[in-house]
Amino acid sequence: MAFVNNYAPEPEILEDELYGPKPYDINFVLPIPSALSTNKLSLVPFIPRVHAPAYLDGVRGHESMFKHISIALERPSYFIRYVESCRRDKSAVLFAAIDKTRPDPNHPEWEGSLAGLFGFEETSTTMLVTEISPAIVLPAFQRTHVGSHAVGLLLKYALELPPSGAGFRRVTWTVSPINDASNNLAKRMGFKLEGVFRWKYALPAVEGYHKLGKEARAGDAGNGLLGRDSNELAVCWDDWEESARELVERAFAREA
C-alpha cells in the first residue's frame, strides 16, 4: 500500500521576525490577565522589545547559571530566538517577573525591577495540564522572595477554579537531579517528586560554555551531545486543595 511522508521542519525564524509582531501577540491557549501579582511581585507577559535588554543585562557574566538547562540560552541571539519560538507555540507563554520592592529608575513604568523569566509550556486544555518552565531568577534577585512568589502565582493561576484560575488538574516541574536550588524551590512550593526520567534531554552544545550532562554511547543520533536525566515533580488539584495552596499563601506572607 502506497504512502507518503510530507514532513517538513518548522521554518527558520527570520531576522525581522525575532521580536514578534506589533502589537505583540502572546498566542497562548489560555486567557492571560495583564498581570498576576502579590504585594511584592508581578508577572506580566514578556515582550522582548520591552524586557529583553534588562534581562540580558541581568544575566551577562553569569551564563554558567544555564549549565543545567536543556536549551541554549547562553548567548543573546539564542535567547531572542527562544523567546520567539515560545511565542509561536500555543502551549507556551513567558512572563517577566517584576520585583515591586526594588524600583528601577530607568523603567518607572514597570513599578519595579525585572527580576526573572518564568513561563508555562506543554499546556493542554484537553488534558488540563501544564508545566512551569522556564523558571529563571536573575542573579541579583536570587535568595529573595522572587522565586517563591513567581512559582506561587503560576500555581495559583493554573490550579484555582474559574473564574479565579484556569481550573487545571496538574502542574509539572522538570529539573536536573543535581540542580539543588531548583529542586528545593519546587519542594518548598508543594511539588511532589514522582520519579526520574532517564536520558530525557539531549543537551545543546554551546561553544565556550559547558552543560552538565553525561556521555551517551558512541555513534548514536546525538552526534556526541551530552544527555541529562530529569526529576519529574508535580502539584495536582488534590495536592493544591489539601496543602499546596496553604504553602503558597505562607510564602506570599513571608518576609523576603
3-state DSSP percent of the chain in helix, strand and coil, to 5: 30, 25, 45
For range 77-102, the mean pLDDT: 98
pLDDT tens profile 199-211? 999 999 999 999 9
Residue 134 to residue 195: CA distance in whole angstroms: 20
For residue 255, the model assigns a pLDDT of 61
Nearest to 83 by CA among 25, 6, 33, 3: 25
Residue 256 to residue 242: CA distance in whole angstroms: 25
pTM (predicted TM-score): 0.96
Residue with cell 541571539: 77
Residue 187 to residue 201: CA distance in whole angstroms: 22
Cβ atoms within 10 Å of 237's Cβ, excluding its own: 18
For residue 254, the model assigns a pLDDT of 85
CB within 8 Å of 141: residues ≥ 6 apart: 99, 102, 113, 115, 116
Residue 203 to residue 245: CA distance in whole angstroms: 34
Sheet of 113-124, strands arranged across: 36-37, 41-45, 93-99, 113-124, 129-137, 170-175, 227-236, 192-202
The percent of residues in the chain predicted with pLDDT above 70, rounded, is 99
The percent of residues in the chain predicted with pLDDT above 90, rounded, is 98
pLDDT tens profile 94-131? 999 999 999 999 999 999 999 999 999 999 999 999 99
Residue 128 to residue 195: CA distance in whole angstroms: 20
For residue 61, the model assigns a pLDDT of 96
pLDDT tens profile 142-170? 999 999 999 999 999 999 999 999 999 99
pLDDT tens profile 31-65? 999 999 999 999 999 999 999 999 999 999 999 99
Q: Is the pLDDT of residue 91 over 60?
A: yes
Q: Is the pLDDT of residue 256 over 80?
A: no
For range 66-73, the mean pLDDT: 96
Instruction: Name the average pLDDT for the chain.
Output: 97
For range 232-252, the mean pLDDT: 97
CA dihedral defined by 122, 70, 189, 33, rounded to 10 degrees? -40
